Amino acid sequence: MFSVRLSEVALPASERDLDNLVGWFIDTLSLVRKRGEATADFGKAGPVHRLLRDYLLSQPNVSWDAQMLADELALTPASLNHHLTRLVEAGILGFSNEGKGWRRYFLRGGSLTNAIEFFSFQCETIVKQRMAIIDDLWNRNKPDLSMSISPTDTPALSIGIVEHRPLLEESIESELSQWMGDFGLLGERPGKEARADSISVQLFRLLLNRDHPLSLDEAEELLDEQKPRIGRILERFRTTGMVQRVPRIDRLNVTLWTAITTQYQRRGEDWLLKKGGFQRILSTKQQSILLKDLKKGVLKVETVGATLKETASEEQMLLLNLLGGRLPLGHQLSGFTSSEVHNEVSSRIDRILRRMRRVAQLLEQALNDA
């Protein structure tokens, strides 16, 4: 069964250092679980590193006996089998039972570049097939906003890609929770989060059915769960590329009203006009309407929204900044249709695959020059 966890890693600084190139592949395919502080050799003496560098990649046309590899690497058969299984599941290695004795493992296609082509095709096909599950669950429409919402930042991608398999009858999972676990939305070791009714699953369903971004406060109230845990789950969602953190444009009127009334009470009309941005951004008519209600103490959120309706959202956000206010952030899915989410995830995976093709070429060249 094809199963891999892809991590977005910057291209290696050196294009000729064999160990750096091998290490880049190990990190990108998440073949070694990072624990504690880095070792003095940066993992170069690790069994997976040596297995790839000294055997599988350096002699791509040779099939390797598992027992011989275990002896050469000073590993127990069980430990070696774990590493070989990870590479087979990732589609990088193949094996045969030809002849007598142990399985013989080899690089697919006879070269790393060929193996990456096999790998890329499987990744793209599986993602396309499995993203279809959210089509039926999708109930999100694009809200009527005057500007598109750009995410605040984009964390490095870390996503699982696992081919479909039927649920076991006694499984605690649902089809959705299994899907989320396979894509890494539940973390590396899901545990209880894999249950069909876990907080992670409930939170993702909430995002599937919500037009506006979801704040931590709202999620806490809706799910009856503590904000720190919800925050950690949402950050994990973001690393898969399926969820993004964005400004709450839908709360702009409320935030502006708060900032305007607060600054008027603290600093007065003259400050609002000059340093608060009224004269810089608003027309004379808009200034007059807002200041008139401020003086009477009857300014309402609805009045702010109606008065600034013709002002572009970018200008409103600039006004908020000049007033010293902060627009709250929220989380939403990376698109207003399931196909948009699919395209976002696929484009980011494609970026990793292009890097893998480039590093494969550099690695083969480095091996030839060695």
- Percent of the chain's residues with pLDDT above 70: 94
Dist. CA 266–CA 16, nearest whole Å: 62
Stated pTM of the model: 0.86
Going from the C-alpha of 153 to that of each of 245, 249, 260, the distances in angstroms are 7, 16, 28
Digit-coded pLDDT (tens) for 82-91: 889 999 998 8
DSSP per residue over 146-214, as a string? Answer: SSPPPPS--PPPEEEEE---PPPTT-S--HHHHHHHHTTTT-SS-GGGGSTT-HHHHHHHHHHT-SSPB
pLDDT at 370: 65
* Mean pLDDT, rounded, for 265-272: 93
46: closest CA among 75, 5, 71? 75
- Can you give 24-60 as a three-state secondary structure string? HHHHHCCCCCCCCCCCCCCCCCCHHHHHHHHHHCCCC
Q: Check whether 111 has a pLDDT greater than 80.
A: yes
pLDDT over 90, % of the chain: 63
Assign 7 to helix, strand or coil.
strand
Report, in angstroms and rounded to the nearest whole number, the Rg of the chain calculated over CA atoms: 27
- The predicted-structure confidence for 286-328, as pLDDT tens digits, reads as follows 999 999 999 999 999 999 999 998 888 889 989 999 999 988 8
Give the 3-state secondary structure of residue 234: helix
> How far is the C-alpha of 368 from the C-alpha of 370, rounded, in Å?
6
Q: Rounded to 5 degrees, what are φ and ψ at 251?
A: -105, 10
Q: Which pair of structure tokens corresponds to residue 187?
A: 């973390």
How do beta strands 93-96 and 64-65 pair? unpaired
Average of per-residue pLDDT values in the chain:
89
3-128+352-369: CATH, from 1.10.760.10, 1.10.10.10, 3.40.50.300, 2.130.10.10: 1.10.10.10
- The span from the CA of 82 to the CA of 48, in Å, is 10
Mean pLDDT, range 133-140, rounded to an integer: 88
Instruction: Give the start-to-end residue ranges of the domains of the chain.
Output: 3-128+352-369, 139-241, 251-322
Average pLDDT score over residue span 233-239:
96
pLDDT bracket for residue 339 (50, 70, 90) = very high
Task: Write down the pLDDT at residue 104.
Answer: 87
Name the phi and psi angles at 23, rounded to 5.
-60, -35
Res 148: pLDDT: 56
Neighbour count for residue 312 (Cβ, 10 Å): 12
Nearest to 46 by CA among 15, 83, 11: 83
94: how many CB neighbours lie within 10 A of its CB? Answer: 16
Question: What residues have CB less than 8 Å from 337, skipping those under 6 apart?
Answer: 138, 140
Which residue is it, tokens 């590993």? Answer: 75
